[in-house]
Amino acid sequence: MNNLIRVLLVHQSAELYGSDKVMLQLVSRLDKSVFEPIVLLPTTGPLEKELERIGVEYHVVPTIKVSRSTFTFKGLIKLPLEIIYSVRSINSLLEGRRVDVVHSNTLVVMSGALWARLRRVPHVWHVHEIIERPSIVRKTYALLLHLFADKVMCNSHATAEHLYKDNPSLRNKSIVIWNGLEVSDDIGTSGKQNIRKELGLKPDDVLITLVGRINRWKGQRLLVAAAEMLENAGFKNVKYLIVGGPPLGNSQYLEELERDISNSAAGLDISIIPFTNDIWPVWTATDI
């Protein structure tokens, strides 16, 4: 008889960006003499290889992700069918296996919350995001947490306080746990020097870096606007680095960003590096 605590972790991507790495570190650090993790991914991707490397069971299943498009007429029409399909797929996959707790990683993933409620399994919702607009989406997320989470885990006090504004009752079941990632063992000074050399930086240049998926709400275009303000104010030794790529099938986000940079007075001081698995040399080379 399996007496391990079986945790079903439902995730929103199969890549290796921030929330992916946080989830990967979580399952890698679980005490396997106490817990049995099972990870559900919505697509194939590099995260699969990492889960295989650490010996964690994972499966690719249809997953509901609540986004701005969900609140369109077409999105609302499709949603009931997507819910039925996702829940049935999870049921079929597990084939009656006991699950003791469901962990939904990121606010946008909805399948775990619905499946946990239908199966009456405790549900932990791990929130990494601060959604400000549109207000209907922001308020809906807070309501979903209120209705479908037994425990809300926020990655910062800012994230938690943002949720409390729309639903103060969330204070009663929320906790803040900061995300942490292990530092690479082989950073050294060479990695830092290589990055700064590749960017053509002088010793007294200040490097400001933004790491993350390129989309409309991560702030890359805001950074470009801020860079132009600093350039016009006379700050000539400040350089900017954007690390990451757009979601699959959404190259327009990168194209928009590149146009902004091309048209900016600070354009020559802004560089883009595609997704990189080892981010630590970038962080050590960064000043802000």
pLDDT at 225: 94
pLDDT at 185: 61
pLDDT for 87-116, tens place per residue? 999 999 998 899 999 999 998 899 999 999
pLDDT at 178: 92
pLDDT for 215-232, tens place per residue? 887 889 999 999 999 999
Helix H or strand E encompassing 145:
helix 135-148
pLDDT at 226: 95
Name the burial class of residue 35, with classes exposed (0-12), middle (13-18) and buried (19+) by CB atoms within 10 angstroms of its CB. Answer: middle
The answer to whether 128 and 152 are in contact (CB under 8 A) is no
Weakly modelled stretches of the chain, pLDDT under 50: none
Select from 220, 195, 218 the least CA-distant residue to 205: 195
| Structural domains for the chain | 5-176 (3.40.50.2000), 189-285 (3.40.50.2000)
Query: In 76-121, at which residue ranges do the beta strands (DSSP E only) sit?
Result: 101-105
